[in-house]
A and B are shown apart, each in its own frame.
Chain A
């Protein structure tokens, strides 16, 4: 089973990188960009056929390692 985990800062947490990218896009001539927030995309390949079990396992991985629940949120996408 393949899965994608999208990790992002919680809304409201300052994203210095997003802020700087936003600014650079403006100076490059993209004034329409209103806000930029960046995150991480983590692709996993796991030996698990049952989608429910896979999701549960990934949930745990997110809580324990992949995301920092103090400041980040995550979204799990099972690909196949």
Chain B
């Protein structure tokens, strides 16, 4: 279909039709073909086609202005007639406008949201040339993409691959800082000196090329700088950090844009990581994000081919690790990589919301078409007469398009108001800070105009084509048999409308069920009544005293510590584990974390074999390990307790217990094998179990302990339930928006149904009268008239079910633990739509059937 020799057909035709003046040839089409061919030869056909479309799209507003200015008299007439027609059929117009307004408002909101999601990290000047390095590895036969890479990789790649002009490694660390008396904990980003050159985070003060060169330099955001140096200039001043290190402020960033995954309030040089004990230059440990910048005109495919096998022969621990490149802008919407270091969005939400908004818009457009064709009998004579008077088909189509345009424009006005009202609650569900200010951007305003034209075209096309085809000789004679063809189409439209609504409804019910399922899922540990706080070094050093102090308070039931939250998935270790009888060729994913005595009992995790940790000196030669059931299964001991286990060759120890499997990630992943090592030193998170209902007292006790043992530390606490709920936030967001959208879609579809029913009841008033006169009961008449609608809704359900089943199954596939797809949601959706449709249509028919026949038949 596609001819590589010629530019996109639609673009060419638009350009030809509107590009030149009227009638005269300005060489437009030829120029366009020449432009396209030159571009295709230079950049390839696909890029050329895309560019051509973009160009025409950009030129379109100008054309529109031109062509409207050219034929204002006819247009004026079209619009006048359109407005008169709208006013004549007030009920129909209202239904159309309300439906379209809801559809458009949803589209506007989703458009704003998708724009925002897609704008993440789009502002970097070099953004298009920046990629993240991904490792593709195979573990236990599973292929995995790993977002973290070796510390030595970045600089080495930059040396060896000429196309790579810059590289930047990133890591995160929690550190405490003070300029005067007060200490604050900051989550800092460690980055190579190239950071401020590669990424567009402008510095207010300081030199972007050298700000992060000295290992004891720090770059702060404006706000953070003000926090530490409230009165005066931070630049060049000294900032103290824990561990007795002093940093010099070598740069102050302008407040970084919200829409970046890379943003942070403080940046430290990556090389400082050495002092934090990070394997900055190592090949045998993957835990950093590495971003590389390619040469401006480098070919991605050739670079990718060059680096794919780069890790072969390097002293890494992963076997067969291949490197690949992920564009910077793709990172945000493609979560799910192992070892992901950034807070990301969800591409599924983008797809689901866009589809849902499109569905509602389509339902609203179908309403318009339906009502327009249903009332075609009213318009047939008008069309006939216009044709007799010499109107061509094109003119008539213009007339109908103008009508649809006026209607859509009115709806768009209403939609903007509606969207403005809905924006705050929408922001709350979607956790965004969207505002209408976004429409001030010319591109977005243009998109709004395009939405208007597209909707007007979509809604107006069928009436325009259908109504303009009437033959004057037939319609003027009163032959309305043409209407029957319209009826079949009307039913098709009606069925597709309702099937879209049913589809949304079923998917919503499934998502909701899964969310409820996840919320009530037995994770194997107890999240209630637990407060978490992060301890500094001083507190960890005197943990025994802290524990005693806290337990003295009657509101505190128990205290324990571990190195990470049970929701965090734990540190993902590539390090090789070793135990007797291990198959040396098999590589195993095994997660690792550390805990102190009493951690498992406090969180209600059951030790099914062996015992908990006991207090002991920490040494690398005699570590106590506790493994989960899954790890025990993989290690395949008859009795794991008492068996030796070594991590990375140097951390030796004995397995002292087996803990019952519990979930430490969301339900998307199966439970991986887990090893927990005894290490009071690394257990920096304090878990405090409090007496139910006594939270304020317990927190006060915690705070006073903080003041006593670590007066310099900031006291920050959170509840474990919050962390557990955060795992499902994305799903809850999807659920919230879907619930709103499916309700709206049903409402919009029912608006159309209501209009149709009203129309039919009016048209068949006499029939109802005759039936009643002959003895039919009201119930019988209502049943007779509603039957067709009921059938259609049933058909819509039948159509929607397979599609809904497919969508729901695809969505659920991402979850290792999920609901089974039973008939429940399907039947519920059917029952809901049937009863709502029956109520909507039936209500109208009951009214029509209630009129005494004497009234309806008296003019006959």
Partners in one complex: no
Chain B positions near chain A (C-beta within 8 angstroms): none
